[in-house]
Amino acid sequence: MDSDLALLLSQASYVLSTELTLALATLGITPRLFCVLRAALAGDRTQSQLAEQCALDKTTMVFTLDELERAGLAERRRSRTDRRARIIAVTPAGARMVENGVAITTRVYEDVLSSLTARERDGFVRALDRLVGEGGRLSTPVRCEPPVRRRTPRGPGGRSAVA
């Protein structure tokens, strides 16, 4: 393979993330807020479960839930089975936000993938899902010291892609 797989995946992730950020900003939310809201809508999930599902550390999760509560999109409730745990409940306004966010993200994904044939799209998404899905080769990062920091992807010619 002549291509740098890490660079290709990093660049694709960065560009897609910026497009989603711009698109979801029309609703007044970020991809992080959308991820947590959408995951919480699925049912009784604790803060810890949502943090794991959305790849957020504990501090970021607390900050995220504070934002969602201030916006009236979600609320913390005591778990019926574990008094120490908090279940995140999505409000009706939060459910409408998820519905609008799904429509936006679907449009972005369709636009991004539109340069591929239907067969290429299906194969690409299936392969990524297999790699990063539960039990996939890239589903869980290996632990190393010091931890790997995410770097700013570079554009063509080595220029920063974050101008």
Note the pLDDT tens digit of each residue in 114-129.
999 999 999 999 999 9
pLDDT at 1: 64
Element (H, E) at 74: strand 74-78
Which DSSP symbol is given to 2? -
State the alpha helices, DSSP H only, in the chain.
5-25, 31-41, 47-53, 58-70, 92-113, 118-132
Q: How does pLDDT run across 33-56, given as a tens digit for each residue?
A: 999 999 999 888 888 899 988 988
Residues 6 or more apart from 130 whose CB is under 8 A from it? 136
Give all domains of the chain, ordered by start, each with its CATH number: 5-136 (1.10.10.10)
Predicted pLDDT of residue 154: 46
Q: Is the pLDDT of residue 99 over 60?
A: yes
| Residue 46 per-residue DSSP state | B
User: Residue 67 in contact with residue 82, Cβ under 8 Å?
Assistant: no
Please report, as a single letter, which amino acid is at residue 88: I
Structure tokens at 156: 């063509």
